[in-house]
Amino acid sequence: MSQRTVRHFLQIPDFSRQELLDTLDLAARMKRGEYTEKPLAGKTLAMIFAKSSTRTRVSFEVGTVQLGGHALFLSSRDIQLGRGEPIRDMARVLSRYVDGIMIRTFDQQDLVDLATYGSVPIINGLTDLLHPCQIMADLLTIQENFGADLSGVKVAWVGDGNNMANSWLNAAYRLGFELRLAYPAGYEPDAAILERARGAANIITTRDPAEAVAGADVVNTDVWASMGQEDESAKRAADFQGYCITEEMMETATDRAVFLHCLPAHRGEEVTEGVLEGPRSRVWDEAENRLHVQKAIMATLMG
């Protein structure tokens, strides 16, 4: 294969501030139907799923087709990865067949190995450490409600310091908005990611969800036990008592505040039915926006 510069989207800081804003602008134009090009015509995206998914699979597959390309669904059971083939071997082989690889997996190192040994763009569909495509969809949703300039928006994250919290920190690091993180002891975000973000944005950490939500423009959360943590559900339910987003809590946010959730949601646990289905909820727009931002990322990297 000919040598060329290959760019990846493993984490939000892989793109500069301007590149992130340009990608969001492209996604918005795609959503409005103003972009009709087919930059993936004749190209194939391999989609590797070590973790199952609804939104990630459907949005990437539909998005690839809409851009003129073809998507291959590859679960761990379908390929030799499930029988112990090293990631570095698979990366070099798949790079000779396809034009890009999206992976949704557990270990961040799998993603790094793909990018190190592969020779096509790699996109992070989710790892236990990061979920950048979801945050890009969230940022597009925020822009739709508050305008393109994100610098004055105050974002509250309530719950686990998980891959979503880490990716919110990465977004604040690049874009400079205020981020409030509320999490119980023992559920802290990645220390290095937190420290880096603090050097570029106003990052507030607290054990009190009410403190994070009060005066926020965006309130968002996630399930308390993510995929692979089901055996911890009872302990987490106890540890996260008081962290449910309720109508009363939303009333302390700004008058313009919206609620986000990356889904699937457990009604009555991390969020009440009234908030999820209420007038401030933007979760369905947010879910749709996965399609548009991922199309923009693929067009940028693979087009």
Q: How many beta carbons lie within 10 A of that of residue 236, not counting itself?
A: 20
Determine if residue 54 is labeled as part of a ligand binding site.
Answer: yes
The DSSP letter of residue 254 is: -
Determine if residue 109 is labeled as part of a ligand binding site.
Answer: no
Determine if residue 56 is labeled as part of a ligand binding site.
Answer: yes
Q: Assess whether 131 carries a catalytic annotation.
A: yes
Determine if residue 104 is labeled as part of a ligand binding site.
Answer: yes
Q: Assess whether 290 carries a catalytic annotation.
A: yes
- How far is Cα 121 from Cα 128, in angstroms, rounded to an integer? 20
Q: Assess whether 244 carries a catalytic annotation.
A: no
Catalytic residue among 11, 134, 143, 294: 134
Catalytic residue among 11, 14, 57, 104: 104
Q: Assess whether 262 carries a catalytic annotation.
A: yes
Q: Token digits for 105?
A: 């997996």
Determine if residue 92 is labeled as part of a ligand binding site.
Answer: no
| E-state strands within the chain | 44-49, 70-75, 100-104, 122-126, 154-158, 178-182, 203-206, 218-221, 258-261
Residue 178 CB-half CA count within 13 A = 13
Catalytic residue among 110, 113, 217, 222: 222
Determine if residue 290 is labeled as part of a ligand binding site.
Answer: yes
Determine if residue 75 is labeled as part of a ligand binding site.
Answer: no
Determine if residue 53 is labeled as part of a ligand binding site.
Answer: yes
- How far is Cα 106 from Cα 101, in angstroms, rounded to an integer? 16
Determine if residue 139 is labeled as part of a ligand binding site.
Answer: no
Active site residues: 104, 131, 134, 222, 262, 290
Q: Which residues are annotated as a binding site for L-ornithine?
A: 163, 222, 226-227
Q: Which residues are annotated as a binding site?
A: 53-56, 80, 104, 131-134, 163, 222, 226-227, 262-263, 290
Q: Which residues are annotated as a binding site for carbamoyl phosphate?
A: 53-56, 80, 104, 131-134, 262-263, 290
